[in-house]
Amino acid sequence: MDLFEKCHSYTIAREAIKEGYYPYFIPMAENEGTEVICKGRRLIMCGSNNYLGLTTHPKVREAAEQAIRRFGTSCTGSRFLNGTLEMHEQLENELATWVGKDAALIFSTGMQVNLGVISSLVGRGDVVILDKEDHASIVDGARLSGGDIQRFRHNDMEHLERVLTSLPEDKGKLLVVDGLFSMEGDIAPLPDILPLCQKYGVRIMVDDAHAMGVLGKGRGTAAHYGVTNQVDLIMSTFSKSFASLGGFIAGEDDVIHYIKHFARSIIFSASIPPSNTAAALAALHVMQEEPERIERVNRIAEKMRNGYKQLGFNTGNSVTPVIPIIIGDDQLTFTTWRLLFENGVFVNPVISPATSPGRQLLRTSYMATHTDAQLDFVLDTFKKVGKEVGLI
């Protein structure tokens, strides 16, 4: 059989493009944060992870520009060899302090954090336990580790305990969970998870890619619940609230030191560029100096959740600035997305396997820099389109 046969027979996406229903890889001519220009059309962006609106903040832009002028565009080497800057270590130290841990280690992408951390800590004979709604990077890190993978139903503590009870006591065990789940906007119940981890001798890692800058006054899910000292590892990315690219893991000094010397995704990958490092560091400073941005994005989330519910939309269990509009059908999801796009609102259609079967949805997310006028326009547009397709 020709290896490429699967490529030639894959026609679904081309058919969707031809029919005007393809919602992915849309090129933007301009991106101004809350508004973008696509195909000559100006749209309000309600699909970004730029929660604090810092991609256009003057301090963040200037920091990135200065870093390029000082260091050039790349370190052209891995952190392990010639790719570590003093600024990398400054960012690591400040991030560790921010999230309340001994030490931190930065990687070139958030995906690389999860691939490297999980696969370096978990090996053959160990067990990694995942929530069934965990991000794909967590799943891939678990697969790469070679450890035994066990999964429990989303936020189901009874099922989690059954899984933990079934595991041998003499196995090393790591539970990895999203703090803020990126598709449906709900939160992992850490106060319920942690006692189970302690009872069964399980270490816990929290992926705060979407929670950092949003929950716990910006410090993430563990801070939100006041359980930072009970969580072993805290991970986050720079591609959301930090308005950059990269990621980090924070925890006990000895553990971070071990990961630094065994995570293949940091040893065998070029380090995060100076401009991205400087942007993330500046974004961290803005979070500290302008806490009103964190308060604003959460007020906006409450306004939009209430607005959608009043219109009759199903927003699931969201309690964050990630608000799903649950539709439950592939074609209706794509049709609704297209009509919203044509009427000036950019959202993200999500179908299986990115979400559970029957939970097809439009993922909406919000920024601290959205204006009230923009938000009202979005709600009015959803009302118009929702009636047109029969969702409300």
Question: What DSSP string describes 313-332?
Answer: ---TT--SSEEEEE---HHH
Full-model pTM: 0.95
Whether the Cβ atoms of residue 235 and residue 205 lie closer than 8 Å to each other: yes
As annotated, the residues of the chain forming the CATH 3.90.1150.10 domain(s) are 5-51+291-389
- Condensed to tens digits (0 to 9), the pLDDT of residues 27-48 reads 999 998 999 999 889 999 999 9
The C-alpha angle 298, 43, 342, rounded to 5 degrees, equals 120
Could you give the 3-state DSSP secondary structure of residue 359?
A: coil
Q: What are phi and psi of 214, to 5 degrees?
A: -120, -50
Nearest-Å Rg of the Cα atoms of the chain is: 21
- Condensed to tens digits (0 to 9), the pLDDT of residues 217-228 reads 999 999 999 999
CA-nearest of 284, 255, 248 to 113 is 248
Q: Which fold has domain 5-51+291-389?
A: Aspartate Aminotransferase, domain 1 (3.90.1150)
As annotated, the residues of the chain forming the CATH 3.40.640.10 domain(s) are 57-289
Residue 114: the pLDDT is: 98
**Amino acid letter for position 85:** L
pLDDT category, 358, cuts 50, 70, 90?
confident
Mean pLDDT value across residues 221-245: 98
- Condensed to tens digits (0 to 9), the pLDDT of residues 313-332 reads 999 999 999 999 999 999 99
- The answer regarding whether domain 57-289 maps to CATH 3.40.50.800 reads no
